[in-house]
Amino acid sequence: MSKQIQVSGLDAYYGSHKAIEDVSMTIEPRSITAFIGPSGCGKSTFLRTLNRMHEVIPGARVEGKVLLDGDDLYGGNVEPVSVRRMIGMVFQRPNPFPTMSIYDNVAAGLRLNGRISKSRLDDTVEESLKGANLWNEVKDRLSKPGAGLSGGQQQRLCIARAIAVKPQVLLMDEPCSALDPISTLAIEDLMAKLKDDYTIVIVTHNMQQAARVSDRTAFFNLAEQGKPGKVIEMDETSRMFTNPSHKATEDYITGRFG
């Protein structure tokens, strides 16, 4: 059920400001792809173009092609809502729905998208929470508010919520940046497990994390402030971290700038 993403010649704008320019890449199914690069180079922007979340921002638009197993996501009569149903997203800051219980948070995607029987909902909620390594911690308090969990638990709740709708692809924007090392490890383990079923893309500022979890890595950079960001290179993670072909990549990875 996981799918390949092919991007070609993609530009993204905020109003008249071009945030990323001419990005082309292939993201393989059943693997983890990491995006690294200095702050402001457009990693989040690019990630959000992959499930048409970019255009939610007033004035933002996209040019270029994104193919999901060959289907153009930006084709003329594609419904953005259906794209987002196939390509889930986890945000940098945990954002559980404050009015909903833990159970309702996980069930939200399914409930809000149509009718579903109670027993199937129960099963999916349990399965998703188990998938997000959260079940044991919350199984006795499913009816308590989701906002009452710790930051790390909230983030795993958001992952559970995202996988409950069974997307083909999971996009994660710095999912561990607000978490302690233990929760971070829990989420990294989770990613390793999820990649059997999903195409996973993760943005991270943590080089070790990129090296640990990802199969392929893309390095984003911008020529100077105010210029659009670009992909400098993309390769197997092992090659990127041992023998990058660009000087800038090497400098960034070894911490000599950025």
Partner 1 sequence: MTTIQHISTGRRLKDRMVQGLVYLAFALAVVPLVSVLWLVISNGLARFDMTFLTHSMRGIGARDVGGGAYHAIIGTLEQVLLSSLISVPIGLLTAIYLVEYGNGGRLSRAISFFVDVMTGIPSVVAGLFVLAFWILFLGMPYSGFAGAMALSILMMPTVVRSAEEMLRLVPDDLREASYALGVAKWRTILKVVLPTAFTGIVTGVMLAVARVAGETAPLLLTVFFTDSINNDPFSGPQMGLPLYVFDQAARPNDTAIDRAWTGALTLILIVMLLNLVARLIAWWRSPARGR
Q: What is the distance between the alpha carbons of residues 194 and 93, in angstroms, rounded to a whole number?
A: 20
Q: What is the SS3 assignment for 100?
A: coil
139 lies in the site for partner 1, by CB under 8 A: no
Binding part of the chain for ligand ATP, among 35-43, 76-84, 112-120, 141-149 by CB under 6 A, reads 35-43
**Identity of the residue, 142 or 210, whose beta carbon is nearer to partner 1 in the bound complex:** 142
Shortest Å, Cβ 45 to Mg ion: 8
Shortest Å, Cβ 38 to ligand ATP: 7
Cβ neighbours, 10 Å, residue 132: 27
Shortest Å, Cβ 111 to partner 1: 8
Q: What is the distance between the alpha carbons of residues 56 and 60, in angstroms, rounded to a whole number?
A: 7
Single residue of 7, 27, 41, 90 touching ligand ATP by CB under 6 A:
41
Q: What is the distance between the alpha carbons of residues 153 and 70, in angstroms, rounded to a whole number?
A: 36
Residue 230 binding target from ligand ATP, Mg ion, partner 1, none, CB below 5 to 8 Å by type: none
Q: What is the distance between the alpha carbons of residues 77 and 68, in angstroms, rounded to a whole number?
A: 15
- HSE on the CB side for 132, CA within 13 Å? 29
Dihedral sign for Cα atoms in the order 29, 23, 248, 14: negative
DSSP 160: H
97 lies in the site for partner 1, by CB under 8 A: yes
First to last CA, the chain: 37
Single residue of 82, 242, 243, 245 touching partner 1 by CB under 8 A:
82
**Pairing of the two strands 5-14 and 169-173:** unpaired
Residue of 201, 223, 217, 197 lying closest to 49 (CA atoms): 201
Per CB under 8 A, contacts with partner 1 among 208-237 are none
Q: What is the largest CA-CA distance in the chain?
A: 56
57 lies in the site for ligand ATP, by CB under 6 A: yes
The contact mask relative to ligand ATP for 183-202 (x = CB under 6 A, - = no) is: --------------------
Residues of this chain that interact with ligand ATP (CB under 6 A) are 14, 17, 19, 37, 39-45, 57
Residues of this chain that interact with Mg ion (CB under 5 A) are 44
Residues of this chain that interact with partner 1 (CB under 8 A) are 51, 53, 56, 58, 81-86, 88-89, 91, 93, 95-101, 108-109, 112-113, 143-145, 147-148, 158, 161-162, 165
